[in-house]
Amino acid sequence: MTARRPVTSLALLLPLALAGLAHAQPAPGRPVPAPSAAPSPAAPPPIATSAPGSRGAAAASGSIQDLRRLGDAFADVVDKVAPSVVQIEVAVGDGDTSPLRLFRGGGERRGVGSGVIYSADGAILTNNHVIDGARAITVRLRDGRTFYARLVGRDPSTDLALLRIDARNLPAAPLADSDTARVGSWVVAIGSPFGLGYTVTTGVLSAKGRGGVGVNAVEDYLQTDASINPGNSGGPLVDLDGRVLGINTMIVSRGQGIGLAVPAVMARRVAELLLKTGRVDRTWIGVGLQDLTPELAAAIPSAPPLGALINTVSPSGPASKANLNPGDVVTSILGKPVRDAQDLIREIFLHDAGEAVTLDVNRGGKRYQTKVILESRNEPPPPVLPVQRTASQQPGLGLTVRDAADPRSPPGTKATVVRVNGVATDSPADRAGVKPGDILLEVDGKQQPTAADVEAATRDGRLLLRIQRPNAVLYTAVHR
């Protein structure tokens, strides 16, 4: 096994590289001295110096080495994370006209996205919009293995979803504490933009806590200038330690170099809830919130400079029981500063129903604390996708066949083939792409099968078919 190179700090290497380049060139406008004449006998012996230009050459060589170490540091991060990144292919219905259709394959039958392995036992994090409307989901690992995936659950409010494949001992990617990530630090994005698997882009963490995009109900994004394109969705944004800072989710179309990712702190919370119950049961305190803008802070007597302004209070909600009123400004929760409404919403989401949270509140210039018992919002679950329909809803594999005359045989002969007579909508056969009229050349390795052979082969819930169509021959796997 080859030893892994240590990850070198890019923050140290970049200044060194730039400094080396600066030494490699003469200062602008500085005269180059003419060669001196031979010293007179009375003159002291000349001081031994290195050959002309050797100092600049040495500096240039050092700067090249620094740049190589800089590149090696990026490559080491990719070597560490890439095995945890997966390519996701979805089969969707036609006619998709949603604003996110570019991330789902433009309304066509097939679309490509990305994902990251969350746990070694086959759980995979991705975006909800990558798999929304999916009739079948296929996951391709870095080592080339391909699996059908089932949908554990999804949360449209945060645009996250959790898949599971039947595999073990997978290289799960560690999730970072995105709250402590520093704006301006280097980041690396890995994904499958436009279906180009395992594409790597680099940039910096441009901002944290971005909201107001208007796409999802819960918006608290990391912003990066690392190139993000359709197909990157669901892939990881990682730091230089190879930890996932966020799940890449969208680009801002009206600008360049503005990509957004769901923070790892939120992604971890959603994944935990989906693994536990299959859905996200969001908590609330029963208030309407808005940011305390400078204009509002100036207009409200003795208001603090930052906070979440309460504009409504549900009569029967937790906040009403805790004596919160419209006009109150929440400045912290559990000791953590609240800069705006999103800070409060995000922190509440990270706690379970029944927990008590302490709020610091400013009311008319006076500060006080109150405890609020969180309650569930009891939101309805998202609609069931075709891929979530259980196998028990479909008889067999959803495939009916019959023995038919072989259209390839000479006239007058009685050769037969197995022809697909029907495919049930959203059945395993349908999700595998089998179509009525297909001719089955081979079933589980048996060539020239009969309809009885196909029926017998379906009993174990799996089929490997070699199919002939008018202009193509292909293999497909049907899996219950």
Q: Give the residue numbers marked as catalytic.
A: 129, 159, 233
Q: Are 83 and 142 contacting, i.e. CB atoms less than 8 angstroms apart?
A: yes
Which distant-in-sequence residues (6+ apart) come within 8 Å of 461 by Cβ?
Answer: 391, 397, 479, 480
- In angstroms, the CA 144 to CA 400 distance is 32
Give the distance from CA 302 to its chain's centroid: 43
Which distant-in-sequence residues (6+ apart) come within 8 Å of 405 by Cβ?
Answer: 414, 415, 416, 417
- In angstroms, the CA 313 to CA 289 distance is 9
Residue the block writes with tokens 């436009």: 194
- In angstroms, the CA 223 to CA 211 distance is 10
Q: Tell me which residue of 117, 115, 139 sits closest to 248, measured CA to CA.
A: 115
- In angstroms, the CA 116 to CA 238 distance is 11
If one counts every other C-beta atom within 10 angstroms of the C-beta of residue 203, the result is 18
- In angstroms, the CA 20 to CA 13 distance is 10
Q: Are 161 and 167 contacting, i.e. CB atoms less than 8 angstroms apart?
A: no
Give the distance from CA 285 to its chain's centroid: 29
- In angstroms, the CA 344 to CA 346 distance is 5
DSSP-derived secondary structure for 371-401: EEE-EE--PPPPPPPGGGS-GGGSSTTSEEE
Which residues does residue 358 pair with via DSSP β-bridges, in sequence order? 371
Q: Are 327 and 300 contacting, i.e. CB atoms less than 8 angstroms apart?
A: yes
Diameter over CA atoms, the chain = 119
Distances (CA, A) of 170 to 86, 225, 246, 257, 425: 11, 30, 20, 32, 33
Please report which helix (H) or strand (E) contains residue 65, including its range.
helix 54-81
Residue the block writes with tokens 């999103």: 342
